[in-house]
Amino acid sequence: AAMAAACDEEAFQEVDPTGRFGRYAAVLGLGSVKKVYRGFDQEEGIEVAWNRVRLRALAERDPSMVDRLHAEVRLLRSLHHDHIIGFHKVWLDRDAGVLNFITEVCNSGSLREYRDRHKHVSLKALKKWARQILEGLDHLHTHDPCIIHRDLNCSNVFINGNTGQVKIGDLGLAAIVDKDHTAHTILGTPEFMAPELYSETYTESVDIYSYGMCVLEMVTREMPYGECESVVQIYHSVTNGVPPAALRRLRDPEMRAFIQRCIGKPRNRPSAADLLRDPFFHGIDDDTTASKRAKCVKIMHGLDGIRLGQSVFLLLHSSSTVF
């Protein structure tokens, strides 16, 4: 037993201050400012994502930003929504200049990776994914205080392939804003950044712009502005209102019009709540959560008679968790 415990100890590259979460060497993903490792929650016996954000350079430039980012991630940890990656724990390693936070992990990786693996996806499925992302955005934007993601793209949206459930992640760069809903820091991925992000004054509508580009990538499997050879060219195209070539090539008029609404002028962009009511989503339900349970009850009711159906219904509505 002692030897097994020693092997387990060696398997972790490090553990969190409480000893609950362990980090393995395997890397799940790389971002512009962070690295994500495979982790394990020893208390619950589940795999998690261990995120490490290096803050040393940021701390040298403006020490107050470290505390601000730490406070923001702690607030994000309090978010609970079916379509937002859950936060478990966050802590700051001041000696190493690293912000660590533990999140849930989706078994099929990012939506970009998933779409690359599965090239034949129906319009219905694409709309379901798009709707789920919007539901997550609406939760962020209607939160008090308002939360702006600022770096929404298909590599920051994750999917459980066995259920089709989509979740927004990479919230460590999100901005928590006051009642005027304005933020002032330039952050993001150039292909998905709204023009006003470069002016350093913007609102949550920048996420709607990024969302439109996400939908474009989901449909075409192309990065927006893939025709541009440099970040400078992307900047000039975005700030001059030149749409990506992939949008101009899109044949479906309904899809093209929907994306154009999302990436229009800031004052004309609809909110996430407005888009959820758009005719684009008529007939598209999110059956990954409650409605799926209802279907489960109906199927079991039909298979084994009214008695079994009633029993399952009662179990689902009791205080105990069945599934």
Residue 224 exposure: Cα atoms within 13 Å on the Cβ side: 28
Per DSSP, the three-state class of 47 is strand
How far from 195 is each of 55, 157, 232, 274, 291, CA to CA, in Å? Answer: 27, 22, 13, 21, 38
C-alpha to C-alpha distance for 83 and 98, rounded to whole angstroms: 27
Alpha helices (H) along the chain: 2-11, 56-61, 63-76, 111-117, 123-141, 205-220, 231-239, 245-249, 253-262, 272-276, 290-316
DSSP H or E run through 288? none
CA distances from 124 to 1, 101, 108, 128, 236 (A): 52, 35, 20, 6, 34
| Cα 96 from Cα 123, distance rounded (Å) | 47
| Measured distance CA(323)–CA(321) in Å, rounded | 6
The CA angle 95-97-103, to the nearest 5 degrees, is 115
Task: Identify whether 93 is a catalytic site residue.
Answer: no
Task: Give, as one character, the DSSP assignment of residue 14.
Answer: E
> Given 170, 180, 207, 278, which residue is catalytic?
170
List, by residue number, the catalytic residues: 170
